[in-house]
Amino acid sequence: MMTASERLIALLKLKKGAAAAIHDPSNMFYLTEGYTGEGMVFISPERRIIVTDFRYTEQAEHQAPGFEIVMTENAKPEKAVLAELVAAGGIGELYLETNYLSVDRFREFRGTLGSEVSLLSLDKAPQKLREVKTPAEVAAIRKACGITSDAFRAILEKIRPGMTEKELQIELDFTMLRLGAEGNAFSTIIASGENGSLPHAIPGSRVLQKGDMITMDFGAKVDGYCSDMTRTVALGKPSEEMKRVYDTVLEAQLKCVDALAAGKNCFEIDRLARDLIDSRGYAGRFGHGLGHAVGIDIHEEPRLSPRCREDLRAGVVMTVEPGIYLPGVGGVRIEDTCLVREGDGVPLTTADKQLIIL
């Protein structure tokens, strides 16, 4: 199997005299297969180099044994090292992340390298490679999903009227760390009662009460890879209205997970959920996309959204997360991280989805 840097060279058809300089930390991690520090990754057909400062040089040797390490110094900053590498390799074409570098940084490189070097856009080539996960990447995501699902089961024992959203967040984050997460995939969302209408609510001082629906959206990071799961539970018997909202979201979620398979169009799967939710009288109350890919970053391409015309491929890992949000009343979202395969899609997050009444 090719290494990630070899996959980039093949995708860009890099020949002698051409190179790529990578700065996005997620792309650096992917292309080096493990480096988590700062700096720049330089890839040409002849050389694989991590350019960084003293803080990360030893770490880089451990995390990316296949790469040369070049240390920057005050007298020789990154742009000077890059100019040397370009001169030494006879590089005439240098690919950069035009979606990531600031205009200032780009101008700096332009000024240092001179006009005889063509600066080209990488056009998110590393992100395109990252869409289809390798078996090792799927294994890491599966592990993160397992921790997330186990944390949900454990937290059900702890949810009580009288605790705040913030206290619940702390318990959930602590539980994931205790179960082996290296960190959170993103800031945990807890939305209780009427706060449930805020898709990305920040857990606060609201006290959980009987009759609340509580939405918990959280994920773990394992070996550099994320999981993403949302469950909404009821604390005491929910209102008929919220029960109907829950049933509708669950029906949409199950239908869309069932529809996942390689070759399906992202936009069509999103439409399945949107049409169902709209037809039940909640038009306009599901205002975000149905899902997104998950990997090193919590939000990757492709998206299950009305705008995405991409076909799913086997090995893509997608969330399926329909929701209904009613301002002043509450909301429900149910989300799984799923692996797309040739004939189907399989949830990697495995916590129960039937309505749990605590």
Instruction: Give the shortest CB-228-to-ligand GLY separation in angstroms.
Output: 5
Asked if residue 228 binds ligand GLY (CB under 6 A), the reply is yes
Asked if residue 336 binds ligand GLY (CB under 6 A), the reply is no
Instruction: Give the shortest CB-325-to-ligand GLY separation in angstroms.
Output: 13
In the region spanning residues 175 to 194, those forming contacts with ligand GLY, defined by CB under 6 A, are 186
**Which two structure tokens, joined as six digits, stand for 89?**
């390799």
Q: Which of 347, 227, 344 is nearest to 294 (CA)?
A: 227
Asked if residue 106 binds ligand GLY (CB under 6 A), the reply is no
CB-nearer residue toward Mn ion: 137 or 217: 217
Q: Which of 221, 226, 231 is nearest to 149 (CA)?
A: 231
Binding site partner of 137, from Mn ion, ligand GLY, none, Cβ cut-off 5-8 A by kind = none
* Contact footprint for Mn ion (CB under 5 A): 228, 319
CB-nearer residue toward ligand GLY: 41 or 140: 140
Question: Amino acid identity of 228?
Answer: D
CB-nearer residue toward ligand GLY: 217 or 270: 217
What are residue 67's phi and psi, to 5 degrees?
Answer: -110, 145
CB-nearer residue toward ligand GLY: 137 or 335: 335
Binding site partner of 150, from ligand GLY, Mn ion, none, Cβ cut-off 5-8 A by kind = none
Query: What do you get for the CA distance between the two ends of the chain, in Å?
Result: 48
Helical spans, DSSP H, in the chain: 4-12, 25-32, 54-63, 78-88, 103-113, 125-131, 135-155, 165-178, 240-259, 266-277
What's the rounded Cα separation, in Å, for the pair 3 and 7?
6
The CA distances from residue 231 to 108, 217, 236, 273, 285, in Å, are 47, 7, 16, 17, 18
Asked if residue 217 binds ligand GLY (CB under 6 A), the reply is yes
CB-nearer residue toward ligand GLY: 52 or 195: 195
Asked if residue 173 binds ligand GLY (CB under 6 A), the reply is no
Give me the torsion for CA of 312, 316, 322, 325, rounded to 10°. Answer: -120
Binding site partner of 186, from Mn ion, ligand GLY, none, Cβ cut-off 5-8 A by kind = ligand GLY
Number of residues that bind ligand GLY (CB under 6 A): 3
Asked if residue 297 binds ligand GLY (CB under 6 A), the reply is no
Which residues contact ligand GLY by CB under 6 A?
186, 217, 228
